């Protein structure tokens, strides 16, 4: 196991290096620079700024410097936000996105699993159809429509929740719901189809023949195997949701990390682009690793480290 994880960590480092390299060069190829603005700067001042931020050095020197800084976990100052470094931006924005993301993931997983399991157990009955209508709606309604819809009815019309911002728990409910709706629907559909598949397996029939109750069969035998596709989906989902959504954060005025992924590119804020990309990649790669480890725990037939025993 340790050997396996060690090997995976090494691959992760290589992937990270590839991502950094690709982002670094694509970013530089894009026209414009951090000082591009409607009111153009005198060339002398721009030269001065370039020198200050090291943008006047040859590309390989800048690239080398940057790699060194990433190793030291120092992403440098933001070009646009003079009062903050990229590390500040991440350490202030990420906790906010993380809390919101965790809420959304819990919602999505809890309700997605419940809907999916009910739908599978009551296959082709009204419960199934109801659950799947909810799921189809959840998948097809984009999150920004869902957000506006929730905001309009629950906050403005009914006044149960505040319209926007990130202050108390009540403020987090609507954005978490909006964020959760699509993944919840997705999880419900995944669970339903894999449950249906598993339920028709021989071992479930054996369990039934043994006289085990429906509850024991579902919880002990079926759900465990039916979870695999959901777990696979959880990897990228977690990374995506925990680092924040641009659209949801914008609509609800949440000071998370999501906005930086988009605005940093518009601003050509080189250091922020790199910083959030590296950060996101690390979270993504880590969650993929966790998913792979989780496979082994959920289904011992999947061998991680060349182990000998199947089931």
Residues contacting 73, CB < 8 A, separation 6+: 87
Name which position in 151, 194, 243, 264 contacts another protein (CB under 8 A): 151
Token pair in block for residue 260: 């930086």
| Using rule CB under 8 A, residue 163 touches another protein | yes
| Using rule CB under 8 A, residue 124 touches another protein | no
Q: Considering just the CA atoms, what is the radius of gyration of the chain in Å?
A: 24
Token pair in block for residue 77: 């100052």
Between 18 and 216, name the residue whose CB sits nearer to another protein.
216
Measure the N-to-C terminal CA separation of the chain; round to a whole number of Å. 18
Q: How far is the CB of 236 from another protein (least distance, A)?
A: 22
| Using rule CB under 8 A, residue 252 touches another protein | yes
Name which position in 37, 58, 209, 310 contacts another protein (CB under 8 A): 37
CB contact at 8 A, 182 and 245? no
**3-class DSSP assignment, residue 36:** coil
**3-class DSSP assignment, residue 77:** strand
| Using rule CB under 8 A, residue 195 touches another protein | no
Decide: residue 23, CB within 10 A, 0-12 exposed, 13-18 middle, 19+ buried.
Answer: middle
| Using rule CB under 8 A, residue 153 touches another protein | no
| Using rule CB under 8 A, residue 95 touches another protein | no
Token pair in block for residue 204: 């479930």
Nearest to 228 by CA among 293, 299, 133, 126: 299
| Using rule CB under 8 A, residue 281 touches another protein | no
| Using rule CB under 8 A, residue 160 touches another protein | no
Instruction: Tell me the number of residues near another protein by CB under 8 A.
Output: 65
| Sign (positive or negative) of CA dihedral 54, 58, 59, 63 | negative
- Region of 14-22, 37-45, 198-206, 287-295 interacting with another protein (CB under 8 A): 37-45
Q: Which residues of 82-104 are buried (b: 16+ CB within 10 A; e: fewer)?
A: eeebbbebbeebbebbbbbbebb
| Using rule CB under 8 A, residue 90 touches another protein | no
Q: How far is the CB of 284 from another protein (least distance, A)?
A: 23
Between 159 and 310, name the residue whose CB sits nearer to another protein.
159
Residues contacting 154, CB < 8 A, separation 6+: 160, 161, 174
| Using rule CB under 8 A, residue 210 touches another protein | no
- Look up residue 41 and give its DSSP letter: P
Between 195 and 285, name the residue whose CB sits nearer to another protein.
195
Nearest to 119 by CA among 111, 131, 108: 131
Name which position in 60, 167, 209, 309 contacts another protein (CB under 8 A): 167
Residues contacting 19, CB < 8 A, separation 6+: 277, 278, 281
* Residue list 97-116, contact with another protein (CB under 8 A): 99, 102-103, 106-107, 110, 113-114
Between 136 and 219, name the residue whose CB sits nearer to another protein.
219
Residues lying near another protein in the complex (CB under 8 A): 30-33, 35-45, 48-49, 52, 80-84, 88-89, 92-93, 99, 102-103, 106-107, 110, 113-114, 148, 151-152, 155-156, 159, 162-169, 172, 213-216, 218-219, 250-253, 255, 259, 266-268
């Amino acid at each position: 196991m340790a050997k396996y994880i060690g090997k995976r960590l090494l691959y992760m480092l290589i992937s990270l290096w590839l991502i950094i390299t690709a982002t670094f060069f694509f970013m530089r190829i894009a026209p414009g620079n951090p000082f591009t603005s409607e009111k153009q700067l005198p060339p002398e001042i721009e030269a001065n700024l370039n020198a200050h931020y090291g943008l006047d050095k040859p590309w390989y020197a800048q690239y080398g410097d940057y790699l060194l800084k990433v190793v030291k976990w120092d992403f440098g100052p933001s070009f646009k936000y003079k009062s903050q470094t990229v590390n500040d931006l991440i350490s202030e924005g990420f906790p906010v996105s993380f809390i919101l993301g965790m809420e959304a993931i819990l919602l999505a997983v809890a309700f997605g699993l419940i809907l999916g399991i009910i739908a599978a157990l009551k296959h082709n009955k009204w419960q199934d159809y109801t659950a799947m209508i909810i799921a189809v709606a959840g998948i097809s309604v984009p999150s920004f429509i869902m957000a506006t819809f929730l905001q309009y009815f629950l906050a403005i019309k009914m006044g149960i929740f505040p319209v926007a911002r990130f202050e108390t728990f009540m403020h987090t409910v609507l954005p978490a719901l909006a964020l959760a709706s699509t993944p919840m629907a997705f999880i419900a559909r995944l669970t339903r189809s894999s449950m249906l598949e598993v339920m028709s397996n021989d071992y479930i029939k054996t369990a039934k023949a043994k006289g085990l109750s429906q509850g024991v069969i579902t919880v002990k035998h079926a759900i465990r195997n039916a979870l695999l596709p959901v777990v696979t989906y959880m990897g990228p989902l977690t990374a995506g949701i925990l680092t924040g959504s641009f659209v949801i954060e914008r609509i609800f005025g949440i000071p998370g990390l999501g906005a930086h992924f988009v605005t940093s590119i518009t601003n050509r804020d080189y250091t922020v682009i790199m910083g959030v990309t590296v950060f996101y990649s690390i979270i993504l790669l880590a969650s993929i690793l966790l998913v792979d480890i989780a496979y082994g725990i959920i289904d011992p037939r999947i061998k991680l480290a060349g182990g000998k025993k199947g089931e």
